[in-house]
Amino acid sequence: MPATSRTAVELLTIGGARVAGKDQGRGNIIVGKSADLIVLDRNIFDIPAEEVGDIKVLRIVFEGRTVYLAESGSVVDPRGDYLYTP
pLDDT, one tens digit per residue, over 61-70 is 887 888 888 8
The whole-number pLDDT of residue 77 equals 64
pLDDT, one tens digit per residue, over 5-54 is 788 878 778 787 788 887 787 777 778 777 788 899 999 889 888 898 99
Nearest CA to 13 out of 3, 28, 25 is that of 28
Q: Which amino acid is at 17?
A: A
The pLDDT-based confidence of 2 (bands split at 50, 70, 90) is low
